Amino acid sequence: MRNCVEIDFQSLALAARGASKNAYCKFSKFAVGTALLTANGRIFTGCNIENSSYGLAMCAERVALYHAVAEGATKFAAIAIYTPTDAPTAPCGACRQVLAEFAPEMTIQSSCDGEDVMQWTLAELLPAAFRLDDR
């Protein structure tokens, strides 16, 4: 599925960085932004959204995914992640599992305030993901 559209990672990374500006992260002060590319070329952005009840924080990756699914998109090619760090960071385990429900073969790219950019497939980051329909 991830090859259905040409993936313009530069634009996707820019969109992710832009989305981080909307992060509601007054507790962690760690503003994450994401840009999720659907198989037919739409982009849905996300940012982390925290809460006074700390455990209710939602990661930027899942915000983008849930936004997309709520708009009817279920096939995804790639997600770009921006974190305000010196080195790129990989998505948390919960987000890997949620992304794998829809797009186990998608590409994940991570950029940051430093020059390095990392790229993985989701299958590399979450081998043997749990799936109910595999039973």
> Any idea which residues carry the catalytic annotation?
61
Residue by residue, DSSP assigns 31-49 as: --EEEEEETTS-EEEEE-B
If we measure between CA atoms, which residue out of 118, 102, 84 comes closest to residue 44? 102
SS3 content of the chain, % helix, strand, coil (to 5): 35, 20, 45
Min dist. Cβ of residue 87 to ligand THU (A)? 14
**Site for ligand THU (CB under 6 A): which residue of 7, 13, 16, 32?**
32
Q: Does 61 bind ligand THU (CB under 6 A)?
A: yes
Q: Which residue stretch of 13-21, 57-65, 113-121, 125-133 sits at the interface with ligand THU (rule: CB under 6 A)?
A: 57-65
50, burial (CB in 10 Å: exposed 0-12, middle 13-18, buried 19+): middle
One of 3, 10, 11, 28 touching ligand THU (CB under 6 A): 28
Vertex 45, ends 104 and 57: CA angle to 5°?
85
* Region near ligand THU per CB under 6 A, out of 52-60, 72-80, 98-106, 115-123: 52-60
50/101 with CB nearer ligand THU:
50
Q: What residues does 71 pair with on adjacent strands? A: none
Binding mask 73-112 for ligand THU (x = CB under 6 A): ------------------xx--x-----------------
Element of type H or E holding 25:
none
Contacting positions for ligand THU (CB under 6 A): 25, 28, 30, 32, 48, 50, 57, 59-61, 91-92, 95
